[in-house]
């Protein structure tokens, strides 16, 4: 089985970080992975994205032109990547920063108010962890435990933010699970 996705937003949202975490978590789970970052020269505030492939088989290419999932953290990213998702795939939308709905009807939509949840939890910079958790809850692409370990490792030099990032990850995970359960009930 192969999970491929594009994660997109603007620089400073932690898009590349969560892509890298997914790749490392995939390796920890014994999977084949690739992570391909892309960003403009302006970095913070500019556009950035990464593609991640997690597979049971060797990954043929890190380039993903038609992903199963697009995780979009801002409106320009939704506009750019919504049309690229394969029919039957998923678009995970940060509804805190995106003021329109997904136009397509042939994809599953997971709406995540990532910034609102992160703010409520007291760590506005953890919106990326909320989105990552929602992706994991909706797809089970890698284990939550592997990502939790990576959060602890990544933020080891900043121990004050570990708990809030873990809380954001777990809240997103629960949201992704709920969205999946509702989609399955509606589809049943």
Pairing verdict, β 108-112 and 90-94: parallel
pLDDT score recorded for residue 11 = 85
When pLDDT is cut at 50, 70 and 90, the band that residue 124 belongs to is: very high
Q: Does residue 43 register a pLDDT over 70?
A: no
Superfamily of domain 2-187, CATH level 4? Pyruvate-ferredoxin oxidoreductase, PFOR, domain III (3.40.920.10)
Angstrom distances, CA of residue 144 to CA of 59, 97, 148, 166:
22, 25, 6, 10
pLDDT band at 188 (very low <50, low <70, confident <90, very high): very low
Report the pLDDT value the prediction gives residue 2, as an integer from 0 to 100: 86
Neighbours of 57 (CB within 10 A): 9
What's the chain's average pLDDT? 92
pLDDT category at 42 given cuts 50, 70, 90 is low
For the segment 167-174, the average pLDDT, to the nearest whole number, is 98
CA angle 89, 94, 100 (to 5 degrees): 85
Mean pLDDT over 135-160 rounds to 95
As a whole number, mean pLDDT of residues 71-85 equals: 96
pLDDT for 14 equals 93
Tell me, what's the pLDDT at 179? 84
Q: Is the pLDDT of residue 64 over 80?
A: yes
């Amino acid at each position: 089985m192969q999970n491929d996705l594009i994660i997109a937003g603007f620089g400073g949202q932690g898009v590349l970080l969560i892509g890298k975490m997914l790749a490392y978590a995939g390796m920890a789970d014994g999977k084949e992975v690739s992570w391909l970052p892309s960003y403009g020269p302006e970095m913070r505030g500019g556009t950035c994205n990464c593609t991640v492939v997690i597979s049971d088989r060797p990954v043929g290419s890190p380039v993903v032109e038609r992903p199963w999932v697009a995780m979009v953290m801002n409106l320009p990213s939704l506009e750019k990547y919504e049309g690229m998702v394969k029919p039957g795939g998923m678009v995970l939308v940060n509804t805190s920063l995106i003021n329109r709905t997904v136009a397509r009807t042939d994809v599953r939509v997971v709406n995540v108010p990532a910034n609102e949840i992160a703010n409520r939890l007291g760590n506005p910079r953890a919106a990326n962890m909320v989105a990552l958790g929602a992706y994991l809850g909706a797809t089970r692409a890698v284990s939550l435990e592997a990502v939790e370990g990576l959060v602890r490792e990544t933020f080891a030099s900043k121990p004050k933010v570990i708990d809030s990032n873990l809380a954001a990850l777990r809240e997103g995970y629960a949201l992704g699970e709920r969205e999946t359960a509702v989609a399955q009930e509606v589809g049943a």
